[in-house]
Structure 1
Amino acid sequence: MIRRLLLATGLLVLSLSATAGTWGTGSFDNDDAADFLLDATKQADVQQLRSALERATSEGFLEAPDGAYAIASAEMVAAAMGKPTAEASKNAEVGDWVVRVHPKVDPSLAAEAVRALDRVLGDESELRQVWAESEEYDAWRGGVIALRDRIAALGSRSPK
């Protein structure tokens, strides 16, 4: 009887851990962003990033997955502009993609990334609402603001 109970408990734990998602304050520390990154780094251009950023800046309520895609896209934009964050630098897929693709980021894409991150941080963002209920909200918000400010500074530089 005890053995059956232990076996059942073990299977329940395995089942729960198999369905539990990844969730952390980093830009790629959730399942949506990780899945997006996997797909985006298979591409040979920035079109998937642009599409994700455009979805995030469209009218209406911003769903959590689209917010996560926008953050991951913005990370890749910063990396493509030659100034990856620490978060992107520790992610081999981002670095490999930049080296392989040599993506070109025009000023409109950088501006779209800034607008998308503003929406992620806004009142009509499910991702922000979820994080606002967390003890780690300030850390998450600070990371998004730092990414936004980095891209804004890079985008405001005039070409030489």
Structure 2
Amino acid sequence: MGTWGPGPFDNDDAADFGGDLDDAAPEQRAELVRTALSRAVRAPDELEHHLGLPAVAAAALVAAQCPDGEPVTTAYGPKQPLPPLAELRPLAARAVVRALGPDSDLTEGWYDYASYLAWRGGLERLRAVLREPDVPFPGQEPLF
């Protein structure tokens, strides 16, 4: 596995995932994103790099379509347009939580502590963007 930075597409597995999205027919792209997220969430044991890194990249694509989400502008991400991915928001949030968890291999192998902190900070931002907004109950007034 080659990793050259802390961004969600700054590794071979995620860059390959971006290429797979570009190669897929437009109507198959949302399912590829869903599959990457589902594989990470459903991994039975430790979340290994080959499942976790594409899931983080997929979560970044979902987050990019959310309010306060950052666009994916790296050259290693998909270049072709993506369909709406809002319905994948809860699944993407769960994949990010799994990537940050104690059973994730993604937290290992960072030889430069500053890069690890940047990577972890990026995932924490993804988790915050993907978190479902608080919705008041019917008849309940917002507190602000």
TM-score, normalised to structure 2, is 0.77
Aligned CA RMSD, in angstroms, stands at 2.4
Structure 1 gaps, min length 5: 1-19
- Pick 1 or 2: higher relative contact order, CA cutoff 8 A, min separation 6: 2
Tell which structure's C-alpha radius of gyration is larger. 1
Contact persistence 1:120–1:127 (CA under 8 A): yes
Aligned to 1:156: 133
Q: How many residues align?
A: 130
Aligned to 1:15: none
Which deviates more from structure 2 when the two are superposed, residues 73-82 or residues 120-129?
Answer: 73-82
Report the CA distance shift for 1:78/1:97 in structure 2 as closer, same or farther (over 3 A). farther
Aligned to 1:48: 32
Q: How big is the shift at 1:105?
A: 2.2
Contact persistence 1:28–1:72 (CA under 8 A): yes
Give the alignment of 1:49-128 within 5 angstroms. Answer: 49-58=33-42, 59-81=44-66, 84-85=69-70, 88-91=72-75, 93-94=77-78, 96-98=79-81, 101=82, 103-107=83-87, 109-128=88-107
Hey, which of these two has a bigger chunk of helix by percent? 1
Identity %: 37
How far apart are the structure 1 equivalents of 2:49 and 2:19? 18
Structure 2 gaps, min length 5: 136-144
